[in-house]
A and B are shown apart, each in its own frame.
Chain A
Amino acid sequence: MTTRIFGSGIRRREDPRLITGGATYTDDVQLPGMLQVAILRSPHAHAKINSVDTTAAAAAPGVVAVYTGADTDGVLNPIPCAWTPPDCELIAVAHPAIAKDVARYQGDAIAVVVAEDRYQAEDALELINVDYTPLPSVTNPEAAMQPGAPQLHEDAPNNQAFHWIAQGGDTDAAFEAADVIVKDTIIQQRLIPNAMEPRSAVASWTKATGELTLWSTSQNPHICRFLASLVTGVGEHKIRVIATEVGGGFGSKIPMYADEMIASFCSMQLGVPVKWTATRSEGFLSTIHGRDHVEYVEMAASREGKILAIRTKIYAGMGAYLSTAGPGVPTVLHGLIYSGPYDVGATKADIYGVFSNSTPTDAYRGAGRPEATFLVERLVDLLAVELGIDPVELRRKNLIPKFEDGHDVASGVTYDSGDYEPLLNMVLGHADYQALRQEQATMRENGHYMGIGVTCYTEICGLGPSQVAGAVGFGGGLWESAIVRFHPTGKVNVYSGISPHGQGEETTFAQIISDELGVDVDDVAIIHGDTSNTPMGWGTYGSRTTAVGAAAMVLAARKIKEKARLLAAHLLEAAEADVEYADGHFTVKGSPDQTKSIQEMATMANVAWNLPEGMEPGLEASAFYDPPNFVYPFGTHLAVVDVDVDNGHIVVRRYIAGDDCGPQINPMIVEGQVHGGVVQGIGQALWEGVVYDDNGQLITGSMTDYALPRAHLLPQMEVLSTVTPSPHNPLGVKGIGETGAIASTVTVYNAVIDALRPLGVTRLEMPLTPEKVWQAIRQQQGS
């Protein structure tokens, strides 16, 4: 019996090219005769554009062309929003690639220069003379909906982009009947994803054939092609998008941006290839932001601590325009998961999507679910204090009992499988929770303040059934497809429409196929990221790549195996029913010496010298997989923090992540995903946050001003897991890419509040900077 490689933490095959500098990211692409593109961006958050004078820029050294909104108007179609939830009066305002009349956020594209090199292009930007009339601006989503607020779009009165309500159960009755109601106001501050690779595009138009090739830093090249087709008018069959090496995304490389289409426009106008690469500062302005909620949240419960209902009213900032998936994030990905892991009778999400003079928001790691988990876990902690119950016991009391094949929650979604308490116990045991509480009590007596935060979460990912996608206004399907091809030598290529960009699926998918087909893992290569040689797929986001994409390739592999079995029966001159497959071999039942390897069948199928009647040559198959449901990973996270009350400084002393993503293909990679997610979530709790000034100027516009997590500020994370398979996909796998970020922000936040509670500090706004913590303590001491 061969050993299954599924479950083995083998080294990644991606790494040799990445540790030697041998990988080709978009900005590394060099084409003969390629010109450089630089984009002029509005310095104003809101301004009328009276005129754009490009004369001097056009005459500058090396400049080949300068274009403005007047040039792209009518040539490039507006940048579309592709997720428009129904029944919420959504107003998909037109988003021109280059602003022509009005600039609506600092960073809105105003003009573009094409020059021989990037220095010349940047120089020429400074020679463009734009006459602006600044207009009043607003960036806070709640403020943007108040009477008298500056208005962004004529067709969106009150700056309301949509009003989405999801209600399950009778929340109002539950609140009426409740013994206890706890409330909070939560600011989910704006975050900037900051994938380390800035966005970049290389566009190459071939006039003679009418074909556009676009290297793009995309998480979903097939969606990119589809949207590029809508914007440029070039047929999908004439567009090739290449995103084979992408340096992180975290959601920020899902959208179709204006910039990539501007680059395409330039190439199509000039008939030469062009490259545009964002500087980091440019990325801060023009790449999507995440979160940005102002939330009023409340929870109803019985005196005994039974959670009865959760209700929210939320202003979700959409930015100046609706980004590709923007409206789906604070709605479908947020409001349907308020039950978390708890048995809650009624939930209601009342969400306003709001335009403001800010960079558009879209999916950022966790996308809607960190915000949901935050508010639920925040309310549970408030309830625990209110009722005088230990927060862990309160959670335990409300957990949904084990279920293996479906559990309906109030919002209307059906969780696939869950077994929450064992993981809670595992984390508590590992941390020695009781000892931590004792230590906390002792420390407090000595004037030291440590806090413990415990989060239980369930999230929704593995997006998702296409029928549901259609019902919730997602402008596409959410299935995946794969082609598995045996070559005559017995080596295998798998072609997939998903598009990993750091998650290591070239390795994990090869592990899966190696097991399925009984071939050595090194004999399998995974091909992804280029629309010209991969089948249609909807891309990598929403922790769907393995749950959906791998499922498709498994189905294809199984088709191949069956064909090879029939061929083996023919060549062994045995009855088809008598030939069995095991470990890469087909053997006649009861005659172990009558056997053929799958590699031999690959050869024989490809040469086709002797096939059964009616069998087609070749050994390959394609399969499409549309999942019947989402997947619902879950877990318990625990943080221990020490707060120095003299200076407000917070140290995360311990962080324990217990997650259940079903069977783990490669535990080393799973752990890496947890580490990264947890740290991004800690970043939100402690350091990261967008600051706009009163004029809509981005104050945190560089890595000097926007505080990203650094190595010396972080603890060793302790990673635990249980395995609860999903009942509905062929591998039983769930997602792990986002869980860390979903759980860790509130875990750390609750730990800090737990530390400060004796001092009277019960709420703070993130990020929890030393100054804010210190001020809050001082305020309490003064009162």
Chain B
Amino acid sequence: MNIQLTVNGKSQEKDVDPRLLLVHFIRDDLGLTGTKIGCDTSQCGACVVSMDGKTVKSCTCLAVQANGTEVTTIEGVSNNGELVPMQEAFWNNHGLQCGYCTSGMIITTMELLKKNANPSEDEIREGLKGNICRCTGYQNIVKSVQAAAEVMRS
């Protein structure tokens, strides 16, 4: 099937197998390997991308379902090479260790702040329910989100 979508601001048109997962399209066809595959049951959130402004687990979405959408992956998050506050906050607060869950974490928490500019710790933790990190115990991820929220509010 022919699909046309915008990924990180760039128009992409491809003929894809109807069963191709969006995450494989992003990683293998577009070569954007910052989006990760951590599980196959939609549990871990390593594959989260933003689609038309909403977070989507790209391992649980077909490439054809992305037809006509605007997708942002971790590679497209920063502004002309400048880190966005959430990226800076993860860096400043040791919000990552092995980095494998980080792309999904950053995209998920950016959307979280879009919905709620001043979330409580509990609200952040609730918002991270769909993302698994095995390294950090989440504490510094929560701290990173709080720090980013503060920067973005000011």
Contacts and interface: CB of A to CB of B under 8 A. Distances in A.
Given A11-B92, A198-B37, A18 B99 contact: yes
Given A30-B31, A709-B137, A710-B128, A502 B41 contact: no
Contact of B97 (A672, A703, A711): A672
B128 to A, nearest CB: 4
B34 A21 contact: yes
B134 A250 contact: yes
Nearest to B139: A675
Interface string A225-254: 000000000000000000001111010000
A520 interface: no
A365 B105 CA distance: 23
B75 A196 contact: no
B41 A703 contact: yes
Chain A residues touching B, range: 35 or more
Contacts of A501: 98
Interface stretch (A266-274, A322-330, A562-570, A676-684): A676-684
Given A30-B31, A280-B41, A19 B137 contact: no
B129 A710 contact: yes
Nearest to B35: A21
B44 A703 contact: yes
Contacts of A280: 38-41, 44
Nearest to A744: B137
A19 B83 contact: yes
A279 B31 contact: no
Contacts of B27: 28
Interface in B111-151: 121-122, 124-126, 128-129, 131-142
Nearest to A673: B97
Contacts of B140: 672, 675
A700 to B, nearest CB: 12
Contacts of A680: 134, 137
B33 A28 contact: yes
Contacts of B75: 20-22
A431 interface: no
Contact of B91 (A15, A25, A703, A714): A15
Interface in A470-487: none
Contact of A12 (B36, B91, B103, B124): B91
A167 interface: no
A27 interface: yes
Contacts of A197: 36, 38, 98, 100
A247 B136 contact: no
Interface string A694-711: 000000001110001111
A504 interface: yes
Interface of A: 11-12, 14-25, 27-28, 30, 118-119, 194-198, 245-248, 250, 277, 279-281, 501-504, 668-669, 671-672, 675-680, 702-704, 708-712, 714, 716-717
Interface of B: 17, 19-20, 24, 27, 31-41, 43-44, 46, 73-75, 77-78, 83, 87, 90-92, 94, 96-103, 106, 121-122, 124-126, 128-129, 131-142
Given A21-B73, A280-B41, A712-B126, 6 more contacts: A19-B102, A20-B74, A119-B17, A280-B44, A680-B137, A704-B43
